[in-house]
Every structure is written in structure tokens, then in C-alpha cells.
Structure 1
Amino acid sequence: MSEEVKPESMPLCPVSAAATPEQELLCIFGTGDLGRSLGHRLLQAGYKVVYGSRRPHSCGPLPPGTQAMSHEVAAKSANLVFICVHREHYDFLETLAPQLKGKVLVDVSNNLKKNMYPEANAEYLQRLVPGAHVVKAFNTLSAWALQNGPSDANRQVYLCGNSAVAKQAVAETASKLGFTVLDRGSLSAARELEDSPLQLFPEWRLPIRLAIGLTASFFFYLLIRDVVFAYVEQGKDISFRIMVSLANKVFPIVSIIMLSLCYLPGVIAAFLQLYRGTKYKRFPDWLDRWMLCRKQLGLLALAFASLHVLYTLIIPIRYYVRYRLAQNTISQIKENKTSEFDTTLAWRTDSYFSVGILGYGLYLLLGISSLPSVSNSLSWREFSFIQSKLGYLTLFFCTFHTYLYGWDKFLRPSYYKWFTPPGYMLSLVVPSVVLVLRLLLFLPCVDRTLTRIRQGWERSDAENDSKKSLLT
């Protein structure tokens, strides 16, 4: 019985050191959209490209400068072969095992859903062609990204494989195409790479669920307080206000709560470090997950704030508002009355709008600075200053804006319909708590201790702590 030879021990046929990119020939199995886009990009990078096809004479238009031939002939012509076919069509590769021995096979395939097969496509390919060196790569890129070149959103190429030499060859090719290469280790990581394109906004799930939950909760709460209460207690049908008035109350409430939830985990983490006296203990899993989705929470909060701004801008052109203004004007004419100008009310409304505009402006700054193209151009100190210092200032302006909106309404019993507080009062609970806790962290004694902890100081026990405090 002949001894089985492991793929890693197979000789890899490297390209001659004297070869140039113009002389290097690469092979692509598959003439679909991805195969044609990849070939087009390789040609732009200076490579020669041949295609392997089961129908070389009727495979459709290919990039100019390439040629199609049978799989067997194409496999012999190049040392690096891109497998751009679906897994269910891999069977023909087993018959090409002698021609593919020692070659680098780049598996770019994906599946339609997770756990579709018991093993990863790349592992299955390695089992079909044990003499080749299989590398999983390029599967996280679309045909459009390959055709048009890398951009900020799809600049990275992830790869994995059992042969370091084979991975180096693929990495060099990806670098020449303008991509950044990230090595994920051995071929056992192939399933993780194949599952990556199938994920649908994994980091957005918790923020989206939270946004939907808050929106639905406050919508029904305000629906009962405003519309149902007016119909039951006063006999008025104001259901038309659901479309604009009610929505314009829900959006700012959800926005300010979600903005405060961006900064609440950081405050909790600071107090947890103060309590533990060290920064070297892990945070609870729920706090870790919460802190990792702060960017998504902030962007959704900005979206709700933008909706609030747009809905507010259309208020003057609403039929209901124009009708009320006309009725009020006619009533004053009939009664020969003129409303006196209220300076206090003017100051309050102007302050309310001014603070809201400032808060929304800072809101936009936070959102813009979180874009990868912008954040990559900022230093860590600049990014931290905008997201932390200006972030808390944004929360303060938005909270103050809401307080100015409420003014003294909390003192009037008529606003507590069916003994329930107005929605704006409920929206102030979380941001007010966050701002108060943050102010406590600004106290010199607290800030000094927290800074020392984050610099590596640990509180071991009471005796050592007292000695250290005397020394400092």
C-alpha cells in the first residue's frame, strides 16, 4: 500500500523569480459574472489570463486578451487556478487531479445558506484534489467590486489555507489588485469565511430591534393618551393626527433615548472599574455586546432625529395648522381682539428652536465622523474628542431642547391624561440619568481615581490602598 502524501508536502511550482507580472499566467475555471470580472481585474493588473470551460467555444463574451480552452489544457498552463464554479459542479475537478497536482487552487465559492453542507467548500475541494494546495479567498467580494476595483467598503480580502507558500502566492496577487490581505489561518477557518457573506447586518440586529420596540411602545402609548382619550372623554375624532402629529412625537422620543443609550454603557463601565479597582477584569458579556453596537445605535438615533426635523418643517403647510390659524384670525376679527406679544414666550420658543438646531448640527457631526472614509483620516484623539466630548454635548443640547419643550407642563394636571405622564417626560428619564452620572465622573476625586485605574493602577486591598494614598 502506497503511503498517502499530505498536501503540504506536495511540491509547489512557484513562478520563476525572473518572471514579471506581465509574463505571469493565471487560470480561471468558470466564465460566469464573477469569473469574467476577476479576469478583467487581473488583466488590468498586468497578468495574462486563460479560462477553463466545459464549452470553450461557446462560453459567451470574455474580457479582451483572454482565451478559453478545456479544463485539462487550462490546468496545465498555470500554477495558480481560480475556481469560480459552484460546489455542486466540483466533481469534474477530481478527474483533473493529476493536472492540478502541486497547483494553487483558489476557492471563491459561497453557499445559498449556512450549514448547507457538512464541510466547507474549500475543505471539500481539498479532499477532491489532495495533491493541490487549496486557499479560500476572494469569496467576500462581489463581481461588481472586482470589476470596479477596491473601495473603502470592500478593500479587504480574507484568506485561509494549510500551505504558507500557497497563501503567500494568493496574497501577492490580491495585493497587486489593490486589496488588503488578512490571513485567517488554516483551511479550517474556511467555513467562517463562507458564512460571512451570508450574514445580514449582524451588528445591526440589536439596535434595530431596540428601535422597533421603542417606536411601537411609544406609538401605542401616545395613541391611547392623545387619540383614544380625546374620542372617549371629549367625543372628538382626531385620528388624522396619527400621520404627522403623533409620528412627530414618537421620532424625537426614540432618538434621544437611543442617543443616551450610546453613552450609558460607557458610564456603566467606568463605575464598574471604580467598583472593582482595576481595568484588567472583563466586562459582562451583555455590556460588551452593548458597547460594540454603540455606533449603530447612534446612527439610528440620527435617522430618527432627521425624521423629526423633516416632519417639523412640514407643519406650516399642513391643512390642520392652516385651518386653525385662519379660525383664530377670524375669531379675533369678529371679537375685535388682538393678542398681546408675549416676550417670555418668544424667548422660550426661540431658545427651544436654537438649542434644537445646535443639537441636530452636532448630531450630524457625530454621524459624519463615524463614516469609515472620515474616521480613517482622524487620529484617535480627534475621533475620541468628537465621539465622546462632543457626543455628550449633543446629548445635553437635545435633553435641554426637550426640557424647553416641556417647560412648566409637568405642573399642569390637564397634561396627565388618565393619570399618565406625557411622552416627553418619559423620554427625559434615561438621558437625564446619563448626564447626572457623567457629571459625577467629572468630580476631581472620581476622575483622578478613574484615570489612575485606566493607566494600570489596581486596588489590591484596603491596607495597600491606604499606603498608596498616603504616598500620593
Structure 2
Amino acid sequence: MTKPSPPPSLSPATSGIFPLAADEKDPHASSSFPLDPSPSVSAATSAPFSDPVRFAMHDKAEDEALFLPRSAHLDRSRDTLTARPPVAILGAGWFGRALCQRLHQAGYTVHVGRRRPTAAGEGVAGGSFPLPVLPTTYFDAIESARVIFLTIPHRAHPAFVVDYAAALAGKILVDVSNPDEDLPRRSPSPGGGPRRGGSVPWRQPAYSIAEQLAQALPQTQVVKAFNTLSAYQLEHDIGGPSPQVLVCTDYAEAQREIMNIVRTLGYTPVDAGTLRMARDTESINFRFFPGWWGAVTFTVFLFLIFFLYDLVALHLLPGANNSSHQFSDLPYRTIGKVMASTALVLLASTNLAGVTANLWQLAHRTAQRPFPAWLANWLAARKALGLLAFMLVVFHVITSAMLTNGPAFALAGAQVANAQGSLLLATLGVILYGILCVTSIPGVGSALSWTEWRFIQSTCGWWALALVTAHSFILRLPQWQDHSYYHRNMPPLSILTFIPAALTLFLKVVLLLPPVAEYLEMIQNGR
């Protein structure tokens, strides 16, 4: 489920920081569908832990149903049973059974076809086929409905097409299968997908499974859908309040009918384009943390740079090693400090991305011009950067709590109050960042109104950065004023990491000045 769109006067560009699913076995991967379409220009500058796609797929007509539990969708569907056309499911594997259960609960008359429908032990209420319907043959199931779900493994498609192509003429065939591995999906020719009719291109990995079916069945309206859900998700009703289902097809009528079924089951249908786009949807289940590798690489790079800097400045330079900085501190105290420094820069970078986008809009005097690739990628990585930063913060908090000779214990007099005050600010900042992390979970963020979500992701996000920056300033100011910490004119690491955070907050204050804020709002509203 996507976050309701903001009011026109509240542009997401000014609202936040980083955008913090035997022969008929289940053909689905177990991973949930990680939809990642390109965000709109305005949504790209939204709040820190938000997902940049939360505004991109908003369907205004479904606002009233967005906050209903899944059971409410199903109960409502039973009130209009006469409007439910019969559907057929070919294949009684795990996914076929789970889909049959969901469709039956939604009020559909379901006909399940399988190769051996009279296998021993099968019945309506129990046995090896615990479904409220009796299985039948493929032919009988195809003849009983216009919409047919093909849930057999894709390796069985060639033989299936040879036997049932004539019976499928004029039908809507929904392919739910996925390939066994993530094959390259580039078309071998600029002409796009394979031609309909002719020989069956079962050995062309450049095309999707659905495209191959469409070529082999030119008289059938082939649709790609439900392949991003697993049998476990269907059966146990998991994946968030309203998981999205991508629908790819070349036929408008078939698209409308399948999208209606998707809505009836309590999911959110997404028009993913023509059948050619099935090449992308079939690769979704093979994605491994897409969009995170850049953030992880940047985090590791920062950590190594800061660690080497601290190592050289405090341990390797002549005269740098002293009683306060021993090599024995490296495994715990030094690494904890470096992680805190890395986390502060990461947190600043998540906020700085939105500020940079605002400055870019001001410089070009428009919010309609697409961002350059580097800025778009930066905006898209904000959620990953923020969560990685929070992970480092938690590590720093644990190490600080376990070190009984930390800064609060080493100081005396008025410095104790300063140290304790900085720790109080850090505690408040960590709590706020924890709230941001929790609301970045789709199931939690989807339950919030736009105003609530904007307050947490934007207002609380900026206050969290201000608190942890103030913590660093108050705690480390005595060291910055002590020249003994400047070994060979190398400033302490805390100064280098404080600068990006302070610069980010300064730029945000500039953007909040009434003349600047009013002009930016005018640009974002298109005036």
C-alpha cells in the first residue's frame, strides 16, 4: 500500500530527508515483492526513511479502502458474489492451492485443473488436496472459465501449449511462473518481443516466460501477474496491509479484469506496462537488496577512511602514541568512535540530499525538470544510508555503555554537566532516529496519515540530526580547544565529521528563511 499523496500545498520536496515483498510444485521464489519504479520528481525529495515509490503508485480511487484490514476486503467481496465470474487454476501445487483458497474466500467459483484429478486421497474437506473444490481435468477447467491461472512450472509450458493451445483460444491466461535463474533480459533485436505465431521460442532467454507463451498462443490474451507473491504469502496473508501485484499485458480488457481480481483479493494492482515488461518483473525475485550496494560501499569507504585517519593521527605519527591512545584501544574503543563518526556523516548525507535537491530546484527555478543522475541516485539511497547509520549508532551506544571509563567518568567539575548534557541530547536523538526507522517499515508507515508521516520523517528527522550534532559539539569542544589533540597539525576526527552535519543544518536554516521558503514553495507549486 502506498502513502496517500500530500496536499498540493505540501510538496514532498520540502518535507523530509531520506526514503526509509512433483510436476506441479510452487513455481515462485519465496522473496516478497520489492517494487522499485522510478519516483516522481517531487517524491524524490521526500522524507528520510521513506521509500521513493510510496507516492508513485497512488490510486486516488482506493483511498477509502487503503486502511481496511485484509479481512475487510474479503468480507466486502462476499456481498457481491453474483458479480464474481468463474475462474480456473491449472496446476495444484503449493501456489495453485494457496491461490484457490484466496479466490474461494473472495467469492469466486474456482475450477482447479490438474493432470491426474482422480488421485487417491483427494477430497473436498481433507486428504492430500484440502480445498473446498474438487479437482478436474485441464480441459474441463479451461472450458469452465474465461480467466485461467497457469500455475505449473515454466519447464512444463512447451508440452502444455502443444496439448491445450486450441482450448485456450479467446481465453485470458495469467502466467504466475518465474524462471529458475535470473537470465539476461535484453532483446536480441530492436524489434522488441518475439512475433506471435510460428515456432515456439522456448530457448530464447532474452524473452520472458510470458512473452514465449504469448508467441505460442497467438489467440490467447496472456497476462503476467502474481509472480512476485509466494504461496506462503497468499496462504498466510502476509506482505503488508496491501501488497502490490504487478500486471503486465498487451490487452486492456484483460488488464482490467485481472486488476479487478487483484483488488478483490485485497492487493493493490499496479499497471507494469506491456507484456515486454514481464522481463523485469520476472527478475524481481532474484534481486538481492537492490539500491543498497551504493550505500553500503559509501559506508565502508567512509569507515575505512576515518579509521585510517584516526590510526595515523593517534597511533602511527611520531609522538602521537600516549597513555590516552593505546593500540589496545583499537578493537573496541577506537572502532566504536569511528563508527560514531561514520554514522554522523551518513545521517548528515541523508538530510543533505533533500537540501541539495531543493537548492537545485531554486537554481533552475523549476520543480519539473528531472534531477541529474547523481542526485537522483543519492535521493534514492537515503533510506539505506539512514538505516546503515542507525546500525552504527546502535553499535556506538553499546560500546559506550560498556566502557565504564568513558568521557562522563573521566571529567570533573563543570565538565561533568557538559558531558551528561551531551549524552542526554544523544539519547533523545537516538530515540528519534529509532522512531524514523520503525516508520520506514512499509506496514507501519502505511498506517500513518500524510500529516503524521511527514511530521515523523521530516520534522523529527531534522530534530534528530540537530540533537546528535549538538551532542558531538558539546562533548568534543574541550578537545578541539586543546592543542595536544592536534598531532602534527592533524585535527581530531570529530572535527572533520562535525563539519558536514553543521553545514547541512546551516543550509536547512537558510531554506527555512521566509523569503527563500516562499520562493521555493512557489516553484514547487508551479507558479
Q: TM-score, normalised by structure 1?
A: 0.79
Q: Which of 275, 288, 294 is the aligned partner of 2:363?
A: 275
How many Å apart are 1:434 and its aligned residue?
A: 0.9
Distance change (3 Å), C-alpha of 1:227 and 1:278: same
Q: Which of 383, 396, 410 is the aligned partner of 2:480?
A: 410
How many Å apart are 1:375 and its aligned residue?
A: 2.9
Q: Which of 159, 173, 176 is the aligned partner of 1:105?
A: 173
How many Å apart are 1:219 and its aligned residue?
A: 2.7
**Do 1:41 and 1:149's aligned partners in 2 also have CA atoms closer than 8 Å?**
no
Secondary structure of 2:229's aligned partner:
coil
**Corresponding position of 2:145:** 78
**Corresponding position of 2:216:** 128
How many Å apart are 1:423 and its aligned residue?
A: 1.9
State how 1:168-183 maps to structure 2 within 5 Å: 168-183=256-271
**Corresponding position of 2:521:** 451
**Do 1:40 and 1:63's aligned partners in 2 also have CA atoms closer than 8 Å?**
no
**Do 2:320 and 2:487's aligned partners in 1 also have CA atoms closer than 8 Å?**
no
Distance change (3 Å), C-alpha of 1:306 and 1:232: closer
How many Å apart are 1:368 and its aligned residue?
A: 2.8
Tell which deviates more after alignment, 257-266 or 168-177. 168-177
Cα-to-partner distance string for 1:327-376 (whole Å, 9 max, x where unaligned): x9xxxxxxxxxxxx943122111112111112112222322333333433
Distance change (3 Å), C-alpha of 1:31 and 1:417: farther
**Do 2:112 and 2:135's aligned partners in 1 also have CA atoms closer than 8 Å?**
yes
The residue identity in structure 1 corresponding to 2:269 is: V
Secondary structure of 1:417's aligned partner:
coil
Distance change (3 Å), C-alpha of 1:389 and 1:64: closer
Distance in 2 (alpha carbons) for counterparts of 1:199 and 1:364: 27
How many Å apart are 1:310 and its aligned residue?
A: 1.9
**Corresponding position of 2:343:** 255
**Do 1:270 and 1:450's aligned partners in 2 also have CA atoms closer than 8 Å?**
yes
Distance in 2 (alpha carbons) for counterparts of 1:103 and 1:281: 43
Distance in 2 (alpha carbons) for counterparts of 1:44 and 1:414: 73
The residue identity in structure 1 corresponding to 2:99 is: L
State how 1:19-418 maps to structure 2 within 5 Å: 20=81, 25-58=86-119, 61-92=128-159, 93-111=161-179, 112-115=181-184, 117-152=205-240, 155-228=243-316, 238-316=326-404, 342-418=412-488
How many Å apart are 1:24 and its aligned residue?
A: 5.3
How many Å apart are 1:284 and its aligned residue?
A: 1.8
**Do 1:230 and 1:236's aligned partners in 2 also have CA atoms closer than 8 Å?**
no
The residue identity in structure 2 corresponding to 1:109 is: S
Distance in 1 (alpha carbons) for counterparts of 2:394 and 2:339: 9
How many Å apart are 1:269 and its aligned residue?
A: 2.5
The residue identity in structure 2 corresponding to 1:258 is: L
* Unaligned segments of structure 2, at least 5 residues: 1-79, 123-127, 186-204
How many Å apart are 1:250 and its aligned residue?
A: 1.8
Distance in 1 (alpha carbons) for counterparts of 2:164 and 2:412: 89
**Do 2:228 and 2:281's aligned partners in 1 also have CA atoms closer than 8 Å?**
yes
**Do 1:22 and 1:46's aligned partners in 2 also have CA atoms closer than 8 Å?**
no
Distance in 1 (alpha carbons) for counterparts of 2:233 and 2:217: 29
How many Å apart are 1:431 and its aligned residue?
A: 0.6
Percent identity reads 31
Distance change (3 Å), C-alpha of 1:35 and 1:242: farther
The residue identity in structure 2 corresponding to 1:413 is: H
Cα-to-partner distance string for 1:421-468 (whole Å, 9 max, x where unaligned): 2221111121111122222233344334333333434xxxxxxxxxxx
Cα-to-partner distance string for 1:200-221 (whole Å, 9 max, x where unaligned): 2223222222222222322333
Larger Rg: 1
**Corresponding position of 1:337:** none
The residue identity in structure 2 corresponding to 1:177 is: L
Distance in 2 (alpha carbons) for counterparts of 1:232 and 1:429: 24
Cα-to-partner distance string for 1:232-252 (whole Å, 9 max, x where unaligned): 956999444333212211221
**Do 1:156 and 1:180's aligned partners in 2 also have CA atoms closer than 8 Å?**
yes
How many Å apart are 1:227 and its aligned residue?
A: 5.0
The residue identity in structure 1 corresponding to 2:338 is: V
Distance in 2 (alpha carbons) for counterparts of 1:81 and 1:455: 46
Q: Which has the higher contact order (CA 8 A, sep 6+)?
A: 2
Cα-to-partner distance string for 1:400-431 (whole Å, 9 max, x where unaligned): 11112212212333323354322211111211
Secondary structure of 2:369's aligned partner:
coil
How many Å apart are 1:261 and its aligned residue?
A: 0.6
Distance in 2 (alpha carbons) for counterparts of 1:275 and 1:171: 42
**Do 2:173 and 2:220's aligned partners in 1 also have CA atoms closer than 8 Å?**
yes
Q: TM-score, normalised by structure 2?
A: 0.72
**Do 2:425 and 2:468's aligned partners in 1 also have CA atoms closer than 8 Å?**
yes
How many Å apart are 1:307 and its aligned residue?
A: 1.8
**Corresponding position of 1:14:** none
Secondary structure of 2:167's aligned partner:
helix
The residue identity in structure 2 corresponding to 1:407 is: L
Distance change (3 Å), C-alpha of 1:236 and 1:370: closer
How many Å apart are 1:48 and its aligned residue?
A: 4.0
Distance in 2 (alpha carbons) for counterparts of 1:439 and 1:354: 24
Distance in 1 (alpha carbons) for counterparts of 2:249 and 2:231: 23
How many Å apart are 1:22 and its aligned residue?
A: 10
The residue identity in structure 2 corresponding to 1:47 is: Y
The residue identity in structure 2 corresponding to 1:420 is: M
Distance in 1 (alpha carbons) for counterparts of 2:102 and 2:292: 32
How many Å apart are 1:40 and its aligned residue?
A: 2.5
**Do 1:273 and 1:453's aligned partners in 2 also have CA atoms closer than 8 Å?**
yes
